[in-house]
Amino acid sequence: WQLDQPAWSGRLRITAKGSTAFIKLEDKSSGELFAQAPVEQFPGIAVEGVTDSSRYFVIRIEDGNGRRAFIGVGFVDRGDAFDFNVALQDHFKWVRQQSELARQAQDLEQGPKLDLGFKEGQTIKLNIANMKKKEGGTGSTRPRPAVPGSLSLLPPPPGGKSSSGERPAPLPTPAQLPGTPITDSLLSWPQPTAAPAADVWGDFAKASG
């Protein structure tokens, strides 16, 4: 208790074996064990904090032969006392988590198992609606009816399909001059133009010279 004149000073370590934590008081130079306190529950009687300070604890040490004693332990640094407390809390938090996982696994083993297999002679029926079988393999496109008075287009030559699958553009319709009726000659292909006539001004140019 008296940190200015303690009865013993040394190093404190916390180890764990299974669900039990061990507070070990060791010599700070040689590491020789001075005393240890097994802790099976925290908070509990094995480790208790005092009411008027966060740096002092009472621990119950055991010698392994059944003899026990309560001693007071104090930390010079308040941070070390905090770490001591948190280390014990973390250990027993892990113990509770392991116990909960084990209990859940046991409940799953003991609970009824869901059997999703088919019984002997059991069948199922699938009703898939809106499915119609296509006749004629891949099918064919219906020909478009011809419109009276429209310009019919010849089908493309064999092997002449375009890669894009688009229809060829229709031939341009020749422009109609005002007052001129459209005749069959306007819809025909343009004829080659005749060669230009000889220059009629040639003789005049020579005469002026």
Euclidean distance between CA atoms 37 and 25, whole angstroms: 9
In this prediction, residue 152 carries a pLDDT of 58
Number of domains in the chain: 1
Q: Which sign, positive or negative, has the C-alpha torsion 33, 35, 41, 44?
A: negative
Residue 135 placed within a domain:
no
Residue 30 placed within a domain:
yes
Residue 134 placed within a domain:
no
Residue 106 placed within a domain:
yes
Residue 8: alpha-carbon gap to chain centroid: 58
153: CB partners within 8 A, 6+ apart: 168, 170
Residues of the chain with pLDDT under 70: 1, 111-114, 130-209
Residue 49 placed within a domain:
yes
DSSP code of 201? T
Residue 5 placed within a domain:
no
**Closest Cα to residue 89, out of 14, 33, 13?**
14
Q: Which sign, positive or negative, has the C-alpha torsion 156, 162, 165, 168?
A: negative
Element (H, E) at 102: helix 78-110
CATH code for the domain of 15? 2.30.29.30
In this prediction, residue 146 carries a pLDDT of 57
Residue 62 placed within a domain:
yes
Residue 195 placed within a domain:
no
Contact predicate 47/23, CB 8 Å: yes
Decide: helix, strand or coil at residue 110: helix
**Closest Cα to residue 151, out of 165, 166, 172, 167?**
172
SS3 content of the chain, % helix, strand, coil (to 5): 20, 20, 60
Q: Tokens in use for 24?
A: 């070990």
pLDDT tens per residue across span 67-97: 999 999 999 889 999 999 999 999 999 999 9
Euclidean distance between CA atoms 102 and 72, whole angstroms: 37
pLDDT tens per residue across span 157-183: 666 555 555 565 655 555 555 555 555
Note the pTM of the prediction, 2 decimals.
Answer: 0.48
Domain ranges, residue 84 = 10-110
Contact predicate 23/37, CB 8 Å: yes
Q: Which residue matches tokens 């060669």?
A: 195
